[in-house]
Amino acid sequence: MDLMQPQLAQGSEIDFISLFLQSGPVVKAVMVGLIAASILCWAIIVEKSIALWWAARADRKFLRGYRAGAKQTGGKSAAAKLLSMVIGELSRGGENGGWREQVTSRIALELSDISRRRDAGLSVLASVASTAPFVGLFGTVWGIINSFAAIAHSKNTSLAVVAPGIAEALLATAMGLAAAIPAAVFYNRLNLAGARSLQTLEALGHEILIRLARQQALEPRSP
């Protein structure tokens, strides 16, 4: 028994590369597609995480300066562009009545456009999270069908004949889960981060309207 123990331990090791190379063309195509989807998801995760962190940080910094009374009309942050847009809207329609409705409508449109840009790419994560397990399951079912076909062809029901094909098939399911789980987790996290970043801009828009209303109330009215 002691002499057989090292051989059993060595034989129980899983060589994923060998399983991939020995799989059939359909299962191999499924695995390649899942690997490509996983790489794409991680690229989106890294890019969106950095972009949302920088955008939220820049917006909070601008909002603090605005509340402190600093005149900040420039900058590349979304908050700075939102304020510039409001100033431009007032300069174009300052003589017309109902400026509050005009500015409120433009702020809402600008926030909607910012939300759309910040959510770009998240639909890919949602699609991979919902479809990757089923794509992997398809590869598994196809591989198991081939395994049973090999049993029928060889007329040998030994586990040594069935096990390699089943292992190759189950690898497709594992790869599908490996692609879907991070996509689902980071989709929820990035979606929440995007919603939180918009709260800063919504607060800025609300404070802009309040400040404009106060300025108009203090302006002397012509007799």
Number of neighbours of residue 89 by Cβ within 10 angstroms? 17
Q: Domain for residue 22, yes or no?
A: no
The mean pLDDT value for 134-152 works out to 82
Give the total number of structural domains in the chain.
Answer: 1
Q: What is the tens place of the pLDDT at every residue in 111-122?
A: 888 888 888 889
Residue 18 within any structural domain of the chain: no
- Check pLDDT > 60 for residue 95: no
Burial class (CB in 10 A: 0-12, 13-18, 19+), 179: buried
Please check whether residue 27 lies inside any domain of the structure. Answer: no
- In this prediction, residue 142 has a pLDDT band, given cuts at 50, 70 and 90, of confident
What kind and span of H or E run contains 210?
helix 159-218
Residue 74: partners with Cβ closer than 8 Å, 6 or more residues away = 80, 84
Tell me the average pLDDT of the chain: 78
pLDDT tens across 2-38, in order? 443 333 344 445 566 777 667 778 888 888 999 999 9
Structure pTM? Answer: 0.75
The residue ranking higher by pLDDT, 165 or 77, is 77
Determine the average pLDDT of the residues in 156-178.
76
pLDDT digits (tens, 9 = 90+) for 54-88: 988 888 888 888 777 766 555 677 787 887 777 77
Residue 202 is part of which domain span? Answer: 123-216
- Residue 99 is assigned to a structural domain of this protein: no
* Residue 85 forms part of a structural domain: no
From residue 61, alpha-carbon distances to 67, 80, 114, 206 in Å are 10, 10, 18, 17
Give domain status of residue 45, yes or no. no
Of 60, 111, 106, the residue nearest 86 (C-alpha): 106
Residue 46 has pLDDT above 80, yes or no: yes
Tell me the C-alpha distance between 77 and 87, whole Å.
16
Q: Is residue 150 part of a domain?
A: yes
C-beta pairs of 89-97 under 8 Å, 24+ apart in sequence: 90/212
76 in any annotated domain: no
